[in-house]
Structure 1
Amino acid sequence: MDGHEQVEVARAESERGELVLRERRDPHGPTSLELRANGVFVMDTLETSTERALATAALALVEHPRAVVVGGLGLGFTMHEVLADCRVERCAVVEIEQALVGWMRDGTIPHGPALLADERVQVVVADVAVALAEARPATYDLVLLDVDNGPGYLVHDANAAIYREPFLATVREVLRPGGVLVVWSAAEAPQLEEAMRAAFGAAEAHPHEVRLQDRDERYWLYVARVPESA
């Protein structure tokens, strides 16, 4: 035994399956939280560099990211990094799991209440595809999609539609001229790049080298921009 103890903190069921929050207690290090959906690891509080990298890299691509959409609440670290940017005036976080939003609000996730208390935050409990289809055109400067570990590692099979041209064209419609879509992926995803190019006219893949638990990993940010003159 390595001395680690895992304790289930919260569990919820929805039509998409099971969501579980666990606390991992390490006698030699920090206690951390881990989120799993249907048994699949989503994220934890021990290693948050990828969420932060997504937000930091994306924000650097937009001159005036006044209004931002974050697709996927997770444990709040992408949102946290977005809110750390003083240029951001409004941040809409779209999360399909009501239970996860509840855990952030009621302190089951300890850092949640402080994050959600930021007056710039609006949490929308919905499928991100539905939420953006209902949004007004040319409303946002930046859309960050972090709902899966990329198109090859779906949390829910229905999320496959998020990485295809029809939905990506919907995202383009809600972006202002010069607005940017950034999609995070744990692996290279040429079909996603192709779909983004079809929807936006151009797209780029940005590899990010990260060091995780003594391993060198490469993650990808897929970027598409609405022309300034659009």
Structure 2
Amino acid sequence: MGSIEIARAESERGELVLRRRQGEAGSPAALELRANGVFVMDTVETTTERALAAMALAAVAEPRAVMIGGLGLGFTMHEVLADPRVERCVVVELEQALVDWMRDGTIEHGPGVIADSRVRLVVADIAAAVAEARPASYDLLLLDVDNGPGYLVHDANAALYENHFLQRARDLLRPGGAVAVWSAAEAPDLEETLTAVFSSVRVERYDVRLGERDEHYWLYLGCLGPGRSPTGR
């Protein structure tokens, strides 16, 4: 299958490239996003991005305010907005170009999704956004900024899976809230850290078929007990 580049941007972190990949006979073309040559995601297999949102939404009784770390191609955001309980969805994306492509239709489905009045797109580092947010101001935080802790898009993202950041993420939550993390591979160290920070932890494996091969993706969910303050277990 061939592909053509439809957008490229450079930043201090390197290059971001959006390509259109020709589909197999009878299948539509796909968009593919790469950062510094590393595959981030495409529009062929999006079930786990959606599942990240669905699992987290199902675990929280009142997910009124949701923060998403990582815009990607917008599928996690789309799933969050499909839930009528959600009143506010803040999407934090590091790359201005990706936000621009979503807004101007370079990513075709982008303008329709972000037209939802509940959406606010913020160009920032998710670590800074979490640090600056008021404690107990969100019900869900979804992290989809890498292919998981073992496959970082940027080396600095390693801190997002460590105790200090996850404690700050916990403080962001209202009682009964949760943090969900998408990973391309099993991440026992992440599970251990989440267990040290949250009242309870769930891990789910998702089996997907990519072309001619089987893949296994993982979703990690750290939950804050309904009767517990955000600053203590």
Pair in the same fold by TM > 0.5? yes
Could you tell me how far apart the structure 2 residues matched to 1:36 and 1:229 are?
42
Cα deviation code 1:80-124 (max 9, x no counterpart): 011011111111101000000000001111111111110000111
* Runs of 4+ deviating beyond 4 Å: none
> What residue identity is the alignment partner of 1:57?
M
* Residue 213 of structure 1, CA deviation: 2.5
Gaps of 5+ in 1: none
For 2:88, the equivalent position in structure 1 comes to 90
What residue in structure 1 maps to residue 132 of structure 2? Answer: 134
Contact 2:185 2:217 in 1 (8 A): yes
Q: How does 1:171-210 map to 2 (within 5 A)?
A: 171-210=169-208
Q: Does 1:213 align with 2:196?
A: no
Deviation of residue 194 (structure 1)? 1.3
Write the distance in 1 (CA, Å) between the matches of 2:129 and 2:65.
Answer: 15
Amino acid at match of 1:73: L
- Asked if 1:6 is matched to 2:3, the reply is yes
C-alpha displacement of 1:217: 2.3
Select 2:15's aligned residue among 7, 11, 18: 18
Single out whichever of 63-72 and 201-210 deviates more from structure 2.
201-210
Q: Give the structure 2 partner of residue 159 of structure 1.
A: 157
Give the C-alpha shift of residue 188 in structure 1: 1.0
The aligned counterpart of 1:48 is 46
Partners of 2:83 and 2:201 in 1: CA distance: 25
Shift of 1:166: 0.2
Instruction: Provide the secondary structure at the position in 2 that maps to 1:203.
Output: strand
Which whole-Å CA distance do the structure 1 matches of 2:89 and 2:206 have between them? 24
Change (3 A) 1:108 1:139: same
1:60 to 58, 61, 67: 58
The CA deviation at 1:27 is 6.5
Residue by residue over 1:20-53, the C-alpha shift from the partner in whole angstroms, topping out at 9 and shown as x without a partner, is 0011123722111110000000011122111111
Q: Which residue of 2 aligns with 1:169?
A: 167
Deviation at 1:205, TM superposition (A): 1.9
Could you tell me how far 1:214 is from its partner in structure 2? 4.2
CA offsets per residue over residues 109-149 of structure 1, 9 Å max, x none?
11111111100001111000000100001011111111111
- The structural deviation recorded for 1:202 is 3.7
Q: Secondary structure at the match of 1:60?
A: helix
Structural RMSD (CA): 1.2
Task: Tell me how far apart the structure 2 counterparts of residues 6 and 131 of structure 1 sit (CA, whole Å).
Answer: 35
2:199–2:225 Cα contact (<8 Å) kept: no
Say if 1:27 and 1:197 are closer, same or farther in 2 by CA, change over 3 A: closer
Specify the SS of the correspondent of 2:149.
coil
Distance 2:141 2:106 in 1: 27
Asked if residue 115 in structure 1 is aligned to residue 113 in structure 2, the reply is: yes
Q: What is the CA–CA distance in structure 2 between the aligned matches of 1:177 and 1:225, rounded to whole Å?
A: 9
Structure 2: runs of 5 or more not aligned: 229-233
Q: 1: CA distance between counterparts of 2:153 and 2:35?
A: 7
Taking a change above 3 Å as real, the CA distance of residues 27 and 189 of structure 1, as seen in their structure-2 partners, is closer
Residue 231 of structure 2 aligns with which residue? Answer: none
> What is the TM-score with the length of structure 2 in the denominator?
0.94
Q: Deviations over 1:152-192 (max 9, x none)?
A: 00011000000000000010011000001111111111111
**Any idea what SS the aligned residue of 2:3 has?**
strand
Q: TM-score, normalised by structure 1?
A: 0.95
